[in-house]
Chains A and B, each alone.
Chain A
């Protein structure tokens, strides 16, 4: 029994040290915030993204192409993070014409949309990230489309 209590004490002490370090060291981060969002990332919620879709915003799907082809946001173009350079070259002229670009991926723990948005920013194309990505869009009952775009 003493063994168990001491083990619990080790875990509790370690956890306490971790929380203290996170709060006081200057290396910590806000625990209620998604750690994928870095300084400079622009995030948009699904309802606002939907409104902007109707006004002509260009959506980019950062998931692997297979998922894009299964279903995607209407009008979205595939720009998979894993094949960024090749896919970007294909759609670059269209991207440079667009004034409003929103990137999404599989949501929650998915980092692809953040990476793609940062790469676009590096190339002079500002892009926002759809918060919670594809699941947020689907769960809201917004329109989706299978297959490729023309």
Chain B
């Protein structure tokens, strides 16, 4: 693939992935307590007798803003590789969390991916497949730039 095509692809992937992360963050930012309740359903970081609700609540309050920041950076092209790295780690964590819920037989009706107040997507294999596609996009954005052209965006 030539340098121009590669730069265009990276911009397109960055925009797409960035838009997904920005969209994913919005409802959670507006309704943090509702998102915390969904985090509880995964039964991974509490609430439990040992740790109480604090770790799950901290996760619910901070994750959406990390998603928003990552989305904005991916879409804008600033620190795109760094944002892609954070996105990849988050997506991998999401895949593992949904996988763990499936293995343990926990039925999660709303995964908390995009909406926390209405009917959301069920945590299942389809969701894992979707996250893996996004993970592949994040991994593609992690590949180092080889030309200054990529930082200037696609030629018009």
Interface residues on A, range: 20 to 34
Report the separation of the CA atoms of residues A32 and B56 in the bound assembly, to the nearest whole angstrom. Answer: 10
Residues of A within 8 A of B46 (CB): 108-109
Interface residue from A19, A111, A139 paired with B49 (Cβ < 8 Å): A139
Interface residue from B36, B41, B66 paired with A11 (Cβ < 8 Å): B66
Is the beta-carbon distance between B40 and A7 smaller than 8 angstroms?
no
Residues of A within 8 A of B29 (CB): 21
B53 sits at the interface (CB 8 A): yes
Count A-B pairs with CB separation below 8 Å: 101
A98 sits at the interface (CB 8 A): no
Report the separation of the CA atoms of residues A35 and B36 in the bound assembly, to the nearest whole angstrom. Answer: 6
A132 sits at the interface (CB 8 A): yes
Report the separation of the CA atoms of residues A10 and B80 in the bound assembly, to the nearest whole angstrom. Answer: 11
Is the beta-carbon distance between A29 and B57 smaller than 8 angstroms?
yes
In the complex formed, the residue of B with least CB distance to A23 is: B61
B62 sits at the interface (CB 8 A): yes
In the complex formed, the residue of A with least CB distance to B83 is: A10
Contact with B along A99-114 (1 / 0, CB 8 A): 0000000001101000
Report the separation of the CA atoms of residues A148 and B24 in the bound assembly, to the nearest whole angstrom. Answer: 45
B31, B34, B52, B54 pick with most chain A CB within 10 angstroms: B52
Interface residue from B40, B52, B61 paired with A18 (Cβ < 8 Å): B61
Is the beta-carbon distance between A33 and B68 smaller than 8 angstroms?
no
A56 sits at the interface (CB 8 A): no
Contact with A along B58-95 (1 / 0, CB 8 A): 10111111111110010000010111011001000000
**Chain A residues within 8 Å of B, Cβ to Cβ:** 3-4, 6-7, 10-11, 13-15, 17-19, 21-22, 27-29, 31-36, 108-109, 111, 132, 135-136, 139
A-B contact pairs, 10 of them (CB 8 A): A3-B81, A7-B86, A11-B86, A15-B65, A27-B32, A29-B32, A35-B34, A35-B60, A108-B40, A111-B37
